[in-house]
Amino acid sequence: MNANIAIQPYYPDIPLCNRAKLDTGKECNYNCYFCYYQGHLDEQDTYSDITSRADILYDLGIREIDLSGGESSIHKDWFKILNYCNKFDNISCLSNGSMFKDFAFLEKSKKYGLSEILFSIHGHNEEVHDKIVGKKGAFNDIMSSITNANKLGILVRINCTVTNTNIKDIEKYAYLINKLKPYQINFLPLNYWNAANAMKKQDYTTLSKGIQLAIDTIYPEIEINVRYIPFCYMIGYEKYVVNTQQHIYDKKDWNICAYSYQNLDKYKEISKSQMMRWYYKPIKCTSCKFFHICDGIEKKYEDIADKVLNPIIGKKVTNIMEYRQNI
């Protein structure tokens, strides 16, 4: 039984995220073993397709964008894309850092409008990070890129895809984050929406304990978000959980409503439908205090939901931002 159909969460009247993800294609110069786009890493979208999407987003009222691939910075029209997107108030990009190690390239990117970078760092050193991304020298390159960004006053955020490979070194990773001092760090336990299905099922117990250790280690002034993990594994750390329904309020990430090219006024319906599309809760979850605000488990693995989801009994939480009101 899919218990998601009974969800009636309360969406507080607070500002939504006004940022959208603007895809530039799947083309990438790395080969991360968990990548959704395996087999399609040579596909680059045309300049006209990208700018058409930008126009749609702007007409929807979006005023900030995250350029995303693949690796957007290797697009042959990178500077043209940045220049076109200058009508937005803020231009960010997701990046493996391979191009921004070149100070002049990053300086020119800033001149054309880039003001923020979300770097993907998946290991605390060369050995771990380079193995995960499939590129020798990648760790040193991204460290150089972050140094360059700091020199140029470009806002630095960091993503970490947490897997069975890097979780054992998570405390060392936290020390690295303290050294780099980004504005924000996002921990993303691996999900299985597309090509990443080939990966082993993740152990939520191991991943959540590791992430909690990292949270306890990272300096309090660094904003921390945790995605793709059920609330029942984050007791005492609920304020860090940003799943489907909390996502639309995360002002430094892209709004899933905008990515669907739909009016942001329909945020309740869209966020709920996105959750129902990808996630599942077994009937026992109806007794959990987090039932109305939690995603549950990905539908592909509903066969193990009864084993891995552990209802927390208590007064039902209906405000999806209950734990993040002061973030």
Instruction: Give me the pLDDT at residue 203, please.
Output: 82
Q: Which residues contact 231 (CB under 8 A, 6 or more apart)?
A: 238, 241, 243, 288, 290, 293, 294, 312
Q: pLDDT per residue over 189-246, tens digit each?
A: 876 544 444 345 568 899 999 999 999 999 999 999 999 899 999 999 999 999 999 9
Instruction: Tell me if the bond preceding 314 is cis, omega within 30° of 0.
Output: no
> What CATH number has the domain bearing residue 207?
3.20.20.70
Please indicate, yes or no, if residue 236 is contained in any of the structural domains: no
Instruction: Give me the pLDDT at residue 3, please.
Output: 46
Instruction: Give me the pLDDT at residue 2, please.
Output: 47
* Separation of CA 64 from chain center: 16
Instruction: Give me the pLDDT at residue 231, please.
Output: 97
Please indicate, yes or no, if residue 95 is contained in any of the structural domains: yes
Instruction: Give me the pLDDT at residue 202, please.
Output: 66
Distance separating alpha carbons of residues 224 and 184, to the nearest angstrom:
6
**DSSP string covering 50-68:** HHHHHHHHHHTT--EEEEE
Q: Kindly compute the dihedral angle of the four CA atoms of residues 225, 227, 230, 231, in this order, to the nearest 10 degrees.
A: 20
Instruction: Give me the pLDDT at residue 6, please.
Output: 53
Distance separating alpha carbons of residues 306 and 298, to the nearest angstrom:
13
Domain count of the chain? 1
Distance separating alpha carbons of residues 17 and 166, to the nearest angstrom:
30
Instruction: Give me the pLDDT at residue 193, please.
Output: 47
Q: Which string of b and e fits 268-282 if b means at least 16 CB within 10 Å?
A: eebbbbbbbebbbbb
Please indicate, yes or no, if residue 214 is contained in any of the structural domains: yes
pTM above 0.95, yes or no: no
Is residue 187 within 8 A of residue 220, CB to CB? The reply is no
User: For residue 158, how many other CB atoms are within 10 A of its CB?
Assistant: 22
Q: pLDDT per residue over 137-175, tens digit each?
A: 999 999 999 999 999 999 999 999 998 889 999 999 999
DSSP label of 228: S
Query: In which residue ranges of the chain is pLDDT below 70?
Result: 1-7, 191-202
Please indicate, yes or no, if residue 203 is contained in any of the structural domains: yes
Please indicate, yes or no, if residue 200 is contained in any of the structural domains: yes
Is residue 271 within 8 A of residue 36, CB to CB? The reply is no
Is residue 64 within 8 A of residue 89, CB to CB? The reply is yes
Instruction: Give me the pLDDT at residue 58, please.
Output: 94
DSSP label of 15: P
Q: Is 158 helix (H, G, I), strand (E, B) or coil?
A: strand
The tokens of 122 are what?
A: 């998946």
Is residue 65 within 8 A of residue 85, CB to CB? The reply is yes
Q: Which residues contact 139 (CB under 8 A, 6 or more apart)?
A: 121, 123, 125, 126, 129, 130
134 to 87, 146, 190: CA distances (angstroms): 36, 20, 17
Write down how long the chain is: 327
Please indicate, yes or no, if residue 90 is contained in any of the structural domains: yes
* Separation of CA 27 from chain center: 19
Distance separating alpha carbons of residues 59 and 103, to the nearest angstrom:
34
Please indicate, yes or no, if residue 163 is contained in any of the structural domains: yes
Distance separating alpha carbons of residues 160 and 189, to the nearest angstrom:
8
Is residue 288 within 8 A of residue 297, CB to CB? The reply is no
Q: Which domain holds residue 103?
A: 17-221
Closest CA to 31 of 20, 40, 22, 18: 40
